Copies of this chain bind each other. A is one copy, B any other.
Amino acid sequence: VAAVITLTTDFGTRDPYVAEMKAVILRLNPAVRLVDVTHDVAPHDVIEGGLAVETIAAVCARGTIHVAVVDPGVGTGRRGLVVAAGGQLFVGPDNGIFTAILALPDRQIFELRAPAYRLSTVSDTFHGRDVFGPAAAHLSLGVAPTSFGPSVADPVRVGWAASRQVGGGVEGEVIRVDRFGNLITSIDANTVERLSRAGGPVTVRVAGRRMPLVRTYGDLAAGRAGALVGSHGRLEVAVREGSAAARLRAGRGATVRLSRSTRTSMSSGRRRS
């Protein structure tokens, strides 16, 4: 069965952990297609892992199965989950990594308990290989989520960065810094569009700097900072052919303010950025 299983972990790619998960999955379903989302989630960073899952789910076909293993509680009493939501399936620990997915109105949540769908020997330290991988493989073979265990009413959720109205503008924060040094923020495209439609140019402030809102990297002069709606539908802060993180000395958690600009603040902002 040529289903797609995506893999998001904090295992890195230097150790054979990811390959062990894949070997177990392919043993159960040799036809499945495997897509690595990332294995470089910061160790134990459930929120970073959850953001990656949210991103990949947005572009995958119905029926895709997502395995996410950022699992500091492995071997303790924490539950394992299969979540059905938005026509896709999600498998991983019950530690908040699926917080964004659990917000979908149609989600159904089940505990991973059935011994038939895990390895016959389960280690205390590697449920990616022994529990979550096999569960995903069985789902790809057509096993129903309801077969794995009882329904779960109280899954763990973690704080998810959002944006809020502040005066005439919006305030959010940097939630991720990508490889290019772009600062991805918690302010979504709809919020940016609503503010833009209200009239007048919009300006963005991060780490004490003001910068213009543009459409794409190419609208900036080389080395200039600006903000734009990125490919994941979030406000991003970028420097043309450079790193905004390095230039602005800003990282995850930095406050980002979006507001309608006055002529004065914009020109001053341009001089500084």
Contact = CB atoms under 8 A, between A and B. Distances in A.
A14 B40 contact: yes
A103 interface: no
A241 B30 CA distance: 34
Q: How many copies does the complex hold?
A: 3
Interface size class on chain A is 35 or more
A115 interface: no
Given A22-B35, A23-B56, A215 B14 contact: no
A contact patch SS? loop
A117 to B, nearest CB: 17
A14 B49 CA distance: 11
A231 interface: yes
A135 interface: no
Interface string A1-15: 010101010111111
A216 B124 contact: yes
Interface string A27-38: 100110101111
**Nearest 5 pairs of A and B residues by beta carbon:** A75-B216, A76-B218, A126-B231, A12-B179, A124-B216
Interface of A: 2, 4, 6, 8, 10-20, 22-24, 26-27, 30-31, 33, 35-40, 43-44, 52, 55-56, 59-61, 64, 72-76, 78, 123-126, 129-130, 176, 178-180, 215-219, 228-231, 236, 240-241
